[in-house]
């Protein structure tokens, strides 16, 4: 973009932005003639994608700030009115512990109120799954949670929800985006006027109480919990986020002893003790594992800042703690749920579970054993919720849903991943297998013996700045122009291109249509059954690869299968690195 255009956009923004901090940031950049920073903040508008907004906090059209958020909310209001004409509309709004989250949440609620849409606002931070639950409980028409999940502290985000508590999917996502793009100004009123008019309602503890009761009701073995809960030791960290309030309450009411990492218990958007507040990152669990080792905990648990993800570590040998991956925990959850429902005679007539296209196939094998339908969907819990909506209309019975990135859902009352209820189930599962003389690792090994050894690896590469999207698009275009014939020395036998909607065998020109929404995803199935997937992230400037390997356990034993699998993964990763560096 030409310098004159950048300066014009920057001056326009500084005049329109009502938040003096963000406006002054841009005025200072103009005074300093900081062309590089101005370009990054103004070369484009921060994209309102299919899940909402996510970006670095600061002044500018390519940043998270009050002006950008209120315009997005105005577009959401405009669209909701077209979908429910003549209806008295309402919305739920929540936020996490990040910088400016409370301010952004209030600004969002006041735009709803100014548009005549009653805004239910949580008075303090709440987990994302409770926002989904609140929409359904209160019968709201939409909702917003201000969060950037597990991103670094300079980020914040804005996720939009539909009236069933799920993030928006087609056709509503494109409809909202179109409306947002057409907004030039947003309506707003003061908090005092909104409260007086009954258009702003500050939620009390009733929704908390209902959510807590729901989570406890979804556990499978209350008698076991009543008998053995007091004997369990759980170490927990909310990673400076929203999880502690509800998780500590739920665990306490179940009789479980929870020791929360003191340095990470209080909400803090600076996340001072971690580089990334992400339970997928081993370093994020360092303090929790240290406390777990000291207390000899049965399980160490971590939520991300908005508590929709759960990561765990469990005791290994020699006083060590082993990190359990999202794929492994999802497999353990599904196994425990199906084992329990079968054993207790409570398997529903039409059970189904859901996993994403990049989640371990171990779960499909477990589901098949119990005669449970296992369906695949695109990455992202909005697609899981979309399938739940379809199956609900068909009278099918929800069992469990998961994705590899530490997202788990055990209850249909929420339509997004829920790290709080997943933690409660994990505690019960730990107690159950302990009562059978097994650790969670022991049970996982038995699953591998039965279904083959499964190991997964994710590879990501960030491409920041104005050229980042072009680079990632170029990588995907190059693959489509010339598909790989082998990865890691293993021949590619079939290709699935979810963007074009077709899959085919490499030696057969005939293509089959696939039943998935369009998405920029390529998948290669190798001759040994390994699945390799590549896609640009929908929320961050990075490209992501997923390697899902399976090796049958030979006569030489499970350790041999593990070694063979890791050799394959290393060879495949080497080929990926040749492309992305």
Q: Long-range contacts for 339-342 (Cβ within 8 Å, ≥24 apart)?
A: 340/220, 340/221, 340/432, 341/220, 341/370, 341/399, 342/370
CB distance 168 to 50 below 8 Å: yes
Q: What is the DSSP string of 510-524?
A: --EE-SS---S-EEE
Q: How far lies 60's CA from each of 24, 30, 46, 275, 486, in Å?
A: 11, 12, 9, 25, 45
Strands 142-146 and 90-95: parallel
Cα 241 from Cα 257, distance rounded (Å): 20
Please confirm, yes or no, whether 149 is among the known catalytic residues.
yes
From 149, 188, 331, 405, the catalytic residue: 149
260 forms beta bridges with: 236
- Residue identified by tokens 């201000």 is 146
CB distance 421 to 305 below 8 Å: no
The set of residues, in sequence order, having a beta carbon less than 8 Å from that of 45 and lying 6+ positions away, is: 61, 62, 68
CB distance 455 to 540 below 8 Å: no
The set of residues, in sequence order, having a beta carbon less than 8 Å from that of 127 and lying 6+ positions away, is: 96, 242, 243, 246, 303, 306, 307, 308, 418, 419, 420
- Tally DSSP H helices, then E strands, for the chain: 20, 23
Cα 566 from Cα 578, distance rounded (Å): 19
- Residue identified by tokens 């000291």 is 294
**Helix pair 468-481, 558-580: axis angle to 10 deg:** 110
Task: From 260, 256, 332, select the one nearest 300 (Cα to Cα).
Answer: 260
CA dihedral 189, 191, 193, 199 (to 10 degrees): 90
CB distance 568 to 449 below 8 Å: no
Task: From 571, 265, 218, select the one nearest 423 (Cα to Cα).
Answer: 218
Tokens of 61: 């059209």
Residues recognised as catalytic: 149
């Amino acid at each position: 973009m030409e310098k004159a255009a950048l300066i014009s956009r920057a001056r326009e923004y500084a005049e329109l932005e009502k938040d003096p901090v963000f406006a002054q940031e841009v005025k200072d950049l103009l005074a300093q003639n900081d062309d590089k920073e101005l370009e990054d903040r103004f070369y484009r508008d921060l994209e309102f994608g299919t899940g909402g907004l996510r970006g670095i906090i600061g002044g500018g059209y390519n940043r998270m700030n009050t002006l950008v958020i209120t315009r997005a909310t105005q577009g959401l209001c405009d669209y909701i009115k077209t979908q429910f004409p003549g209806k008295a509309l309402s919305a739920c709004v929540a936020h996490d512990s990040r910088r400016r989250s409370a301010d952004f949440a209030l600004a969002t609620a006041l735009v709803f109120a100014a548009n005549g849409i009653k805004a239910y606002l949580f008075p303090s931070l709440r987990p994302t799954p409770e926002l989904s639950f609140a929409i359904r409980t209160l019968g709201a028409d939409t909702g917003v949670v201000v969060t950037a999940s597990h991103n670094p502290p300079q980020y914040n985000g804005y996720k939009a929800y539909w009236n069933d508590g799920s993030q928006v999917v087609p056709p509503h996502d494109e409809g909202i985006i179109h409306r947002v793009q057409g907004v030039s100004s947003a309506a707003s009123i003061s908090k005092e006027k909104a409260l007086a008019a009954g258009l702003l309602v500050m939620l009390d503890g009733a929704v908390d109480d209902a959510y807590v009761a729901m989570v406890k009701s979804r556990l499978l073995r209350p008698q076991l919990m009543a008998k053995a809960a007091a004997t369990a030791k759980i170490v927990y960290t909310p990673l400076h986020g929203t999880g502690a309030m509800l998780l500590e309450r739920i665990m306490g009411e179940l009789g479980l002893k929870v020791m929360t990492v003191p340095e990470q218990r209080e909400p803090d958007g600076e996340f001072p003790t971690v580089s990334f507040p992400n339970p997928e990152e081993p370093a994020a669990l360092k303090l929790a594992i240290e406390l777990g080792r000291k207390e000899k905990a049965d399980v160490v648990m971590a939520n991300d800042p908005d508590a929709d993800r759960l990561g765990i570590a469990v005791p290994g040998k020699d006083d060590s703690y082993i990190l359990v991956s999202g794929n492994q925990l999802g497999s353990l959850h599904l196994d425990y749920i199906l084992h329990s429902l079968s054993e207790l005679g409570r398997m529903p007539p039409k059970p189904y579970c859901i996993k994403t296209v990049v989640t371990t196939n171990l779960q499909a094998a477990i589901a098949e054993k119990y005669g449970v339908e296992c369906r695949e969907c695109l990455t992202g819990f909005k697609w899981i919720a979309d399938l739940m909506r379809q199956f609900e209309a068909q009278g099918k019975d929800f069992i469990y849903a998961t994705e590899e990135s530490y997202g788990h859902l055990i209850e249909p009352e929420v339509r997004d991943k829920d790290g709080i209820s997943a933690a409660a189930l994990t505690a019960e599962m730990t107690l159950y297998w302990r009562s059978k003389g097994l650790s969670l690792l022991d049970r996982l090994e038995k699953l591998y013996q039965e279904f083959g050894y499964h190991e997964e690896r994710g590879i990501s590469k960030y491409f920041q700045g104005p050229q980042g999207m072009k680079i990632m698009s170029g990588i995907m275009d190059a693959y489509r122009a010339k598909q790989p014939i082998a990865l890691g020395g293993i021949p590619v036998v079939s290709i699935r291109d979810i963007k074009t909607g077709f899959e085919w065998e490499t030696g057969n020109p005939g293509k089959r249509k696939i039943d998935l929404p369009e998405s920029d995803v390529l998948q290669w199935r190798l001759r040994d059954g390994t699945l390799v997937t590549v896609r640009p992230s929908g929320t961050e400037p990075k490209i992501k690869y997923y390697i899902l390997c399976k090796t049958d356990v030979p006569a030489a034993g499970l350790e041999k299968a593990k070694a063979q699998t890791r050799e394959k993964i290393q060879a495949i990763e080497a080929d990926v690195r040749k492309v992305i560096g």
